[in-house]
Amino acid sequence: MTDQTGTRLAPALEMRGITKRYPGVIANNNISLDVHPGEIHALLGENGAGKTTLMNVLYGLAQPDEGEILLDGTAVRIAGPADAIARGINMVHQHFMLVPVLSVADNILLGEETMANRVFLDRREAHRRIVELGRRFGFEIDPEAKVGSLSVGWQQRVEILKALYRNARILVLDEPTAVLTPQETEEIFAVLRRLAAEGHSIVFISHKLYEVLEIADRITVIRRGKVVGERRPAETNEDDLAELMVGREVQLTVDRGISHPAGPVLRLAGLEVKDDRGNLAVRGVDLEVRAGEILGIAGVAGNGQDELVEAVIGLRHPTAGTVTLAGADVTGRSPRGMNEAGVAYVPADRHRFGLITPFSLADNLVLTSYYRRPYARGLLRDGDAIARDAAIAIERFDIRTPSASVTAGTLSGGNQQKAVVAREFDRDLKLLVLDQPTRGLDVGSIEFIHRQVIAKRDAGTAVLLVSAELDEVLEMSDRIGVMYAGKIVAVVDGRTADKNEVGLLMATGGAERPAAPVGVAP
């Protein structure tokens, strides 16, 4: 496939010398990118490198200050998303743009209604086309299934079908595998390969190096708005790509060293927790996390991990069972009570749960301790103490910020998470609860945070790590518990765990039969 591309006359898509400036930053600086028919071109870069801006330019959401876009060799001006779609450019966003309560067919038809006449939809024709498209690319899908009942992997397929239904020739996928299990990732890759074989052009945006190496025909790496290199998978490797991406040598996997676990710190016994709708989300979990070890919880999102974490940190009252911390029963204690007992928590969604973005960095650093000495005496806050310790934390945790008084919302994602980590790590802890602590972060920040976690573990803290990113769990954990349908179905050794084995447990819960036939039945 790669060999053919050179012989083609004009690429399906060519972006030439794209420059896009925003006040104070050049988001894209003379970026050129081309994709040939039948090619999968990966766009690799850290968060904030300019990937999203470039794709917004392509999708007509932003107009470039300089440069041009050519489709099949002809310069075009893309006025907006509707125009882009009309020209055969389609985007599959990281966060799916689907309506969960509608059926697969209705979601696909939204905005692109196949009409039988002026008034009525031609559902039969639409269904026929959807089923046919699915078959062509290797999957059976029930057009009547409610999207909300589908697994994430199948929802992604619906997004892709939506694009194909609109006769997309150029498909842009933004971090498509972020939420998938390894098996689902393989399945989506198979679909993508078939799409390419049929002559579609695919732009694959990612920051996962091994995936890019596996799927792409060509890889373009951008850093700080500039193209810093173009590679073919055969002539590069993960270390080379990482160095290009970050601009310095990085250690991709933190050496976790050998753990020396001591006695149990956190003990869950027969824990049952209900979710917001009153359904039992955690169904009898028995688990032990020992001092000086990292216990990872792997599982497809929505299998009760959130509720489990919330019960451990005191946000949710268990309906049955007990939570024991260092020998003391702490079941049902408040979040502040847990915090004072030596439990720290780093949430997955730092914007929603970890930070108050309109508040200053200094205020965010004392968000859990603002009421205690030295930050307050009685009702009175001590601004000097807050500022002094903020300066120390900024230094120690390498938070890149103009000052401690800027609002947290103005910091980059990596620095925001460093602020959360600084707040939660900077004291003696018994238990550290991490919920996808590096979601959406760049390689450098991930490396930093992983190091901090290992250091905490080596200092004798028990670490409970929950992540939908199996890679992170595998990389960090001394032991891995697999959560499925509200239960821990297996606990395996983190050093010897096989990725596919764990992935299969995540998807099936260890049952003999394969995953529930999602996507076929509603």
Partner 1 sequence: MSASAAPVGGGARRQDSAISRVWSVAAVPLVVTVLSVLLGGVIIVFSELLVPGHTFDLGLPLVAYSALVSGAFGNPDAVVSTLVYSTPLVFGGLAVGFGFKAGLFNIGAQGQFLVGALGAVMAGVALAGAPAPIAISLSVLAGFVAGGIWGFVPGFLKAVSGAHEVVSTIMLNYVAVQLLAALVSGPLKVPHSPSPVTFDVGNAAFPIILGRSGHLGIVLAVVAALFVWWLLYRTTWGFEVRAVGANPDAARYAGMRPKLITIATMTFSGALAGLAGSSVLLGVTHSMTSSFGTTVGFDSIAVALLARSNPLVILPAALLFGGMRAGAGLMQIKAQIPVELVDVLQATILLFLVASPVLRRVLRAGGRHAGSTGVDLTATSTGGDAVAV
Give the interface with partner 1 as residue ranges (CB under 8 A): 23-24, 313, 315, 334-336, 339, 345, 347, 352-360, 363, 367-368, 370-371, 376, 379-381, 383, 402, 405-407, 409-410
Q: How far is the CB of 201 from partner 1 (least distance, A)?
A: 35
Residues 359, 307: contact at Cβ < 8 Å?
Answer: no
Q: What 3-state class would DSSP assign to 209?
A: helix
Tokens 């970890």: give the residue. Answer: 354
User: Does residue 171 contact residue 92 with C-beta atoms inside 8 Å?
Assistant: yes
Q: Give the full edge-to-edge strand order of the sheet including 13-22.
A: 25-35, 13-22, 66-71, 74-76
Run of H or E residues at 451: helix 443-458
Q: How far is the CB of 333 from partner 1 (least distance, A)?
A: 11
What distance in Å separates the CA atoms of residue 468 and residue 34, rounded to the nearest whole number?
33
Q: Which residues pair with 95 in a beta bridge?
A: none
> What is the chain's percent helix, strand, coil content, to nearest 5?
35, 25, 40
Least distance to partner 1, CB of residue 182, Å: 31
Cβ distance to partner 1 smaller for residue 42 or 346:
346
8/317 with CB nearer partner 1? 317
Nearest-approach distance from CB 23 to partner 1, in angstroms: 4
Q: Which is nearer to partner 1, 2 or 368 (CB)?
A: 368
Report the candidate in 10, 31, 388 with the shortest Cα–Cα distance to residue 222.
31
How many Cβ atoms from other residues are within 10 Å of residue 496's Cβ?
A: 7
- Between CA 224 and CA 270 the distance in angstroms is 50
Q: In Å, how far are 326, 328, 435, 467, 505 from 341, measured between CA atoms? A: 10, 10, 19, 24, 34
Q: Which is nearer to partner 1, 382 or 458 (CB)?
A: 382
Environment class of residue 359 by beta-carbon count within 10 Å: exposed (0-12), middle (13-18) or buried (19+)? middle
- Residue closer to partner 1 (CB basis): 195 or 338: 338
Which of 437, 49, 51, 17 is CA-nearest to residue 254? Answer: 437
Q: How far is the CB of 282 from partner 1 (least distance, A)?
A: 19
**Alpha carbons 322 and 309: distance in angstroms, whole number:** 14
| Of residues 47 and 357, the one with the C-beta less far from partner 1 | 357
Instruction: Choose between 277 and 352: whose C-beta lies nearer to partner 1.
Output: 352
When the beta carbons of 96 and 370 are compared against partner 1, the nearer one is 370
For strands 13-22 and 25-35, give the pairing: antiparallel
Which lies closer to partner 1 via its Cβ, residue 210 or residue 353?
353
Name the 3-class secondary structure at 221.
Answer: strand
Please say which residue, 21 or 283, places its beta carbon nearer to partner 1: 21
Closer residue to partner 1 (CB): 320 or 341: 341
Instruction: Between 22 and 210, name the residue whose CB sits nearer to partner 1.
Output: 22
Closest CA to 401 of 387, 385, 415: 415
What is the Cα–Cα distance from 363 to 404, expressed in whole angstroms? 9
Q: For the CB of residue 157, give the shortest distance to partner 1 in the complex, in Å.
A: 32
Closest CB 376 distance from partner 1, rounded Å: 5
First to last CA, the chain: 38
Q: Residue 389 Cβ, how far from partner 1 at the closest point, in Å?
A: 15
Residue 404, CA distances (Å) to 63, 132, 359, 397 in order: 35, 57, 11, 13
Residue 248 has which token pair?
Answer: 């310095």
C-beta of 414: minimal distance to partner 1 in Å? Answer: 16
Q: How far is the CB of 450 from partner 1 (least distance, A)?
A: 22
CB of 316 to partner 1, least distance (A): 11
**DSSP-H helix ranges across 137-255:** 152-165, 182-197, 209-215, 238-246
Tokens for 196, please give them.
Answer: 């390419």
Residue 337: CB minimum distance to partner 1, A: 8
Which residue, 82 or 406, is less far from partner 1 as judged by CB?
A: 406
- Alpha helices, DSSP H only, in 198-283? 209-215, 238-246
Q: Shortest gap between Cβ of 34 and partner 1 (angstroms)? A: 32
Rg (C-alpha) for the chain, rounded Å, is 25
